[in-house]
Amino acid sequence: MRILIADDHTMFRNSLKYCLEKQGIEVVAEASDGMEAIKLARLHKPDALVLDMNMPGLNGIEVARMISLEKLDVKPMILTMHDDTVTILESFQAGVKGYVLKTLSCTELVEALKDVVRGKLYLSANITNKIVDAYLNHYQDEMQELTGRERQVLQLIAEGNASKQIARILNLTVKTVESHRNRMMRKLDICNVAGLVRYAIRKRMIQA
């Protein structure tokens, strides 16, 4: 396995290089800033990049984004002390394949790198629960904005029923059905029926 390390702290880079090489990993290059990391990735074509989050020029997320845009055959991994949910999610959206904390042992880091190089996504165990909780809380908060009746109307809309059909099924007036539909659109910031259908599919209320 061939690895490129990018971190602006020389002492940390040296320690990390020693740790990885002791585990049989080849460190092909080291970078002290984001732009240098991209240049060296193009030159050496490593299997993976171990990126610090905060670096001069380009941070770790932006390096990963550039790697992804250029379609370089290299897997970016963030190695950082930052464990906030927003940063983690933004990292994966930018093309990061692994996100690990600097508290990880060297052996665990090597296992994480192996997973990433194999094409798997890797997230440190101690922050996995945080991500799951954030997702569940977002899901619950969003769905709790809808009343039970609104969820019924939403599902029936997503199943292709017109307002008159929904009114008959739920024993409501057409005006009431349309009122529920309009309130849902405002609550969910959705501007048309197609958007409501996509939302229902995303929430697994119906199958695509």
Q: pLDDT, tens digit, for every residue of 145-181? A: 788 889 889 999 999 999 999 999 999 999 999 999 9
pLDDT at 16: 95
Q: How far apart are CA 29 and CA 47, in angstroms?
A: 12
Segments of the chain with pLDDT less than 70: 129-130, 132-144, 207-208
State the pLDDT at residue 116: 95
**Which ranges of the chain would DSSP assign to H, the alpha helix?**
10-22, 34-44, 60-69, 85-93, 106-117, 125-144, 148-158, 163-170, 174-188, 193-202
Question: Cα 133 to chain center, whole Å?
Answer: 14
pLDDT of residue 127: 77
Q: What is the pLDDT of residue 135?
A: 61
Confidence at residue 146, expressed as pLDDT on a 0 to 100 scale: 83
Q: How far is CA 18 from CA 25, 46, 51, 61, 115, in A?
A: 10, 17, 16, 25, 21
Q: What pLDDT sits at residue 137? A: 61
* pLDDT for position 136: 56
User: Domains in the chain and their CATH numbers?
Assistant: 2-124 (3.40.50.2300), 141-202 (1.10.10.10)
pTM for the whole structure: 0.65
